[in-house]
Structures are given as C-alpha cells and as structure tokens.
Chains A and B, each alone.
Chain A
C-alpha cells in the first residue's frame, strides 16, 4: 500500500527557531511536494522536487527551503520560524509517469 509518512504530526516552536519537517515515501516516486494548507486558501505549493537533489520553487517559497538528498526523503526547512508560518503542512509524492499524487497525514505547526 502507498505510504507517505510525515514524522512530526504536531509541533510547537518559538519564533526564530529553525524547524525541520521530514517526509518519507516508500513508493520509489521521483516527484515530491510540500504544500501548506490554510483555511479559505486551500493548498498552496511551497516547493517541489522532481528527482534527487532537484528542487523548484512553488508559489510561496519565501521563508522556506528544502532538501532532497535521497529519493525517498524530502525535508522542508523553516530557517527562522515566524508566527505567519503557523499552518498545516502536507507532503505528497507521485511517480513521474503517474496520475495520482499521494499525501501524507500532515504536520500541524504552531509558531509562538
């Protein structure tokens, strides 16, 4: 069965802290994505990676960076967390030839 795992489900961090959100998929998918979800705004793409060590900015990359050193793992990094980054973060993956993207369970981040 398809599995996208986000290791941290609920986090509370202080303003200015560096935050790592980890995502692992077990399907050998080439493409991986990070979205944030906010009420009334739907899902907005932060970054995506179409293969190992490859990354591209999405629609709202400011304040975020990503790392993809291994095919199965895609990390989202908040260099200096701010309160406006309080949100639900969703990781997803897809085979480069596939039609469906698979989502992880989400990480709820609160920045205080």
Chain B
C-alpha cells in the first residue's frame, strides 16, 4: 500500500532564503500532488505532477517529480512571509480512488 512521507515536519526560515521540502513515497504513484493549507483553512491545490521528470513552477515555488527515486520536491526560492503555511504532498494509484497524504510540513518564514 502507498505510504507518503514528508520531511521536514517543521521548517523555520528567514526571508530571502531558499529551502526544499521532500516527499518520499513507497510504491508506484501515478500522480503526485502538492497542497497548501493556511491555519484554519482548507487545502488549496498547488501542483499536480503527472510523469517522471515533471517540473512545475508558480512564483517562488517549484515542484519536481522523480518516479525512479520515488521522490518529489517542493523548492522555495527567496522565501517571503506570505509563504508561511502547511504544505502537503499526496499520491494516488491508478485503479483506486485513494489519495494518500503526507503528514505535512509546517513552514514559517521569519521577517
């Protein structure tokens, strides 16, 4: 069964710095998703990665997928305070309707 692990669980970083959140998954996943959640709010879709080598970018966030290593990364460039949130990755497997989420990475960007 698919398992998804994220690290780190907590991340405190200075504005202007770069950092990467890692998402490892245990078995084949057809798609890899990244979501953002602000405190007390729902989850907002950031990226859907569909194939090996996929890279997507939106503003200061860039996500990539390496299916051979079963690894996805979310890279933050020159962090700003507005990026403070919890970030989740999730995978799914063809033929099922189950999306398995990681435990989330709580990011705090300090001014």
Contact surface of A with B, Cβ cutoff 8 Å = 31, 33, 35, 40-45, 48, 50, 56, 58-59, 90, 99-106
Contacts and interface: CB of A to CB of B under 8 A. Distances in A.
Interface residues of B, number: 21
Interface of B: 9, 31, 33, 35, 41-45, 48, 50, 88, 90, 97-104
B95 to A, nearest CB: 11
A45 B33 CA distance: 16
B88 A90 contact: no
Contacts, number: 47
Nearest to A32: B97
Given A40-B103, A41-B103, A42-B88, A103 B97 contact: no
A105 B41 CA distance: 6
B71 to A, nearest CB: 18
Contacts of B45: 100-102
Contacts of A33: 97, 99
B101 A104 contact: no
Contact of A99 (B31, B44, B102, B103): B31
26 contacts: A31-B97, A33-B97, A35-B101, A40-B9, A40-B103, A41-B103, A42-B101, A42-B103, A43-B43, A43-B88, A43-B90, A43-B101, A45-B98, A45-B99, A50-B97, A58-B98, A90-B43, A99-B31, A100-B48, A101-B33, A101-B45, A102-B45, A103-B35, A103-B42, A103-B43, A106-B42
